[in-house]
Each structure stands twice: as structure tokens, then as C-alpha cells.
Amino acid sequence: MALVSPAQIMTMDECMSYAVEHSVSVGKQENALDNARMNYRESVASLFPSVSAGVSASTNFGRSIDPETNSYTTVTTFSNSYSLSASMPLFAGLRYVNGMRAAKVARARGYSDLQVARDRVAMDVMRAYIDVLYYKGAVTIAGEQLAEARMQLQQAQALFDCGRKSAAEVAEVSSQEANYDYLLTEQQNNLAMAWIRLRDAMNYPQESTLDVVDCGSSEIVPQDVHEESVVQQALAGNVKVVSSELAVKEYRLHYLRAKGAWFPTISLSAGISTNYYTNFDNRYAYPGFSSQFKNNRGEYIGVSMSIPIFSNLSRLSSVRSSRNALRNAELDLAATRNAVESEVVQACRQMKGYGMQYNLAMKKLAASQLAYDGIAAKFAEGLVTAIDLQSASTTLLQAKSDCLRSRLQYMIEKRMVDYYSGVPFVQGEN
């Protein structure tokens, strides 16, 4: 006997949290952030000396040069050497410093880009969640209207049997009942598609059961928010703007780093080495390993300077490419700021507009319900025609749909205004 598991009921915030946690795009951005952190560590390490050690060993057979007499001999010898060296850049046109600073900015930008990815996923889930709520409400409204139409069809048939309604009026009511039946099926299909889109946005298994709850308030008081204040707050702290600002800073440092290639490079190097040599035919002709290892040791320290003169225009191309990248980043920043400002103004005004529409729609719904109830009572007594009933029913259906749509749209815009005011979509995220 198969047991059907109950549907998991989730609120909008829970759906957004689940989506952010299981999102593929967020996971990729986390990997990109990890790469940025490693690049920063690598750039910091480039300022420290590089140390290397080497060991070599060789055996010569036949004719070779005696290292003691520097003459040719025909013997079998063995030699090996040991070395330890270190080098450190003293000055390179601030390329390493600017590279480290750019990597640090890139790491900070990675955190902002990660939050942008999270917000984008949460926003997609929010809209898909609202679509599910709307079509759930639409299915409920269509089902109620269908039930009313079927009851009225029974009343019309009874009046027809009594001779108080004509066959044309009965056919009109039957047509209205069929129309609501079609509308219910259409809204059920729309709801099924909305569920698929929501699961896809959440990266939730399509075969798993899921249900959502409407946590929105039925009473809406339109808020008169100060648009300029929200705009300034969004331009100062929204992660999309912050990411664009960091991109400008990063590409400016890359530009300075590319210009640093025109300066000389000064490096410091030091090392120590020793070697050992023996003759297999006469092992006692040379000192022992420990003695040679100590006596053959040599040290060196030096400073070198490399002056760039010509490099096939590679430095010039690098500087111009970095400058163009900086200009593009500045243009992107201006576009992002304009887009954020437009989004904030639009969200504030739409939130206020949908709030007013919802309150007016509620008044319209109350009046339409009274009118429909009166006409339906008269229709049951045979005092009005089916056309009057259909007109009142259509008006009532539209009023219910308007109330549902305006309330849910208000929820979206209210959440967007809160987001641009500094309230994250998913609580607990930085």
C-alpha cells in the first residue's frame, strides 16, 4: 500500500532561503569568490622572497677533465653539487603592490557579486511564488463562480419547467456555466505551470510535493515613502552599485599596474653553493665528503636592474587595454546607478499605486457582491433575464480578480522598496 507523503508547506522567505542555498548560480559565484581569495593570497606572497634549492649528481666515464689539475684524464669520477638561492624584487614600478591592491579589491567585489547572485535568485523566486499565489486564488475564484453558475443553471431549468423562463434563457445560463468551467480548467493549467516555474527557480525537485502559504495582509495602508531618501540609500549601499564601484577601483589599479611596466625593475638576489668530487679509481686522492662540502662552499649577493627599452609594443598594448577596461567599468557604474535609481522610483510609485488600487478594488468588490446577490435573488424569482445575471457575474469576477492581483502586486513592490532600503531578501545574509 503506497503512502503519499504530505506536501511541504513553505513561506516566501523559506522558499527564497531554500533557493539561495541550492542555487547553481550562487554555487558558481561562491567558487569564483574562492578563486578571488586565492588570487589575493598569491599577490601578497609575490612581495616575499622566492627561495629555491638544487641538488645535482653526475658520473663521468672515460676521458674527462680533472677539476684539481684541469687536465684531461681517463678515469671514472663522481661529482655532485648543492645550492640554495633567494631573490626578491626591490622595485618594479609598483606593479606588485598595485597587483596586490587590485586582488584585494577583487576579493571584496567577489563578496558583492555573491550577494548580487543571491538577491537575483531570491527575486526570481519571489515573483514565481507570487504567480503561484495568484493562480491559486484564480482557481478558487473560478471554482466559486462555477459553483454559482451550476446552481443558477438548476434554478433556470426549474423556472423553465414552470414556464417562467424560455429555452433561450436556459441556454444562456448553460453557456455561462460552460464558460466558467473552461475558465477553471484554464486557471488550473496556469497554476500547474506556475508550480513548475517556482520549483525550477528554487532548484526544487519537480516530483516532490510542495505547498505555499499566503502571508500577506488583507488590509493595506498605502505608504507615502520618501523616494529621494530610498534612492540615496540604494545608491550608497545596494550591492549592485557597490560591485560596480569596486570594479572601477579594481580596473584603475590594473591600469596603474600596466603603466608600471615602463619603469626599471630592481631585484636583490643571494645564494650559497658547494660541491663534492671523487675519483673511483683513486678515492684517497681527494678529501672526504664533509671536508669538501665545507671547503668548497661559496656565497654570493647581488643587485640587478632591468631597464625596459622595446618589447614589441606589448607594454603599450597592455596599458591601452587596461585604460579601455577602466573606461568601460566607469560606464557600467553610471548605467548601474541610473538603473538602480529608476528601479527604486518605479518600486516606490507602484507600491503606492497598487495600494490605492487594492483599496478601491475592495470597495468595488463589496458593491459588485451586493449587486450580484440582488440580481441572483431576482433571477431565482424569474424577475431578471440571464443576460443581467451574466453581466453582474462578470463584474463580480473581475472585481475579485482585481483585488487579488493588486494585493499581490503590492506585496512584490513593498518587498522591493524594503530591499532597496537595506532589508535583505533572505535574513541573516551579509
CB atoms within 10 A of CB 139: 19
The per-residue pLDDT for 276 is 85
Distances from the Cα of 177 to the Cα of 53, 140, 358, 398, angstroms: 90, 16, 28, 16
Nearest by Cα to 104 from 290, 294, 250, 272 = 250
Show Cβ contacts of residue 284 under 8 Å, excluding neighbours closer than 6 positions: none
The per-residue pLDDT for 354 is 92
The per-residue pLDDT for 428 is 57
Using CA atoms, how far apart are residues 338 and 234, in angstroms rounded to an integer?
11
The per-residue pLDDT for 347 is 93
Q: β-strand 77-91 against 50-60: which pairing, if any?
A: antiparallel
Using CA atoms, how far apart are residues 91 and 305, in angstroms rounded to an integer?
9
Q: Which three cell numbers stand for residue 414?
A: 513593498
The per-residue pLDDT for 415 is 92
Q: In angstroms, what is the C-alpha Rg of the chain?
A: 39
Q: Which three cell numbers stand for residue 97?
A: 603592490
Q: Which three cell numbers stand for residue 100?
A: 596586490
**Cβ atoms of residues 243 and 109 within 8 Å:** yes
What is the percentage of the chain residues whose pLDDT exceeds 90?
51
User: Going residue by residue through the chain (430 aa), what tens digit of pLDDT does each one get?
Assistant: 344 456 688 889 999 999 999 999 999 999 999 999 999 998 888 888 889 999 998 887 767 666 666 777 777 777 889 999 999 888 887 888 899 999 999 999 999 999 999 999 999 999 999 999 999 999 999 999 899 888 888 888 887 788 777 788 788 888 888 988 999 999 999 999 999 999 999 999 988 888 888 876 666 766 677 889 999 999 998 999 999 999 999 999 999 999 888 888 888 999 999 988 777 766 676 788 888 888 888 898 999 888 888 877 888 888 899 999 999 999 999 999 999 999 999 999 999 999 999 999 999 999 999 998 898 888 777 787 878 888 888 899 999 999 999 999 999 999 999 999 988 888 755 4
What pLDDT digit, counting tens, does each position of 174-223 carry? 888 898 899 999 999 999 999 999 999 999 998 888 888 887 666 676 66
The per-residue pLDDT for 6 is 63
CA angle 229, 233, 238 (to 5 degrees): 150
What pLDDT digit, counting tens, does each position of 14-72 carry? 999 999 999 999 999 999 999 999 999 988 888 888 899 999 988 877 676 666 667 77
Using CA atoms, how far apart are residues 120 and 20, in angstroms rounded to an integer?
9
* Amino acid at residue number 237: G
Residue 371, judged by CB atoms within 10 A of its CB (0-12, 13-18, 19+), counts as: middle
Over the chain, what HEC string results? CCCCCCCEEECHHHHHHHHHHHCHHHHHHHHHHHHHHHHHHHHHHCCCCEEEEEEEEEEECCEEECCCCCCEEECCEEEEEEEEEEEEEEECCCHHHHHHHHHHHHHHHHHHHHHHHHHHHHHHHHHHHHHHHHHHHHHHHHHHHHHHHHHHHHHHHHHHHCCCCCHHHHHHHHHHHHHHHHHHHHHHHHHHHHHHHHHHHHCCCCCCCEEECCCCCCCCCCCCCCHHHHHHHHHHHCHHHHHHHHHHHHHHHHHHHHHHHHCCEEEEEEEEEEEEEEECCCHHHCCCHHHHHHHCCEEEEEEEEECCCCCCCHHHHHHHHHHHHHHHHHHHHHHHHHHHHHHHHHHHHHHHHHHHHHHHHHHHHHHHHHHHHHHHHHHHCCCCCHHHHHHHHHHHHHHHHHHHHHHHHHHHHHHHHHHHCCCCCCCCCC
The per-residue pLDDT for 59 is 80
Using CA atoms, how far apart are residues 349 and 69, in angstroms rounded to an integer?
96
Angle between helices 227-237 and 239-259 (to 10 degrees): 40
Which residues pair with residue 66 across a beta bridge? none
Using CA atoms in the order 56, 61, 66, 72, what is the torsion angle rounded to 10 degrees? -140
The per-residue pLDDT for 2 is 44
The per-residue pLDDT for 4 is 45
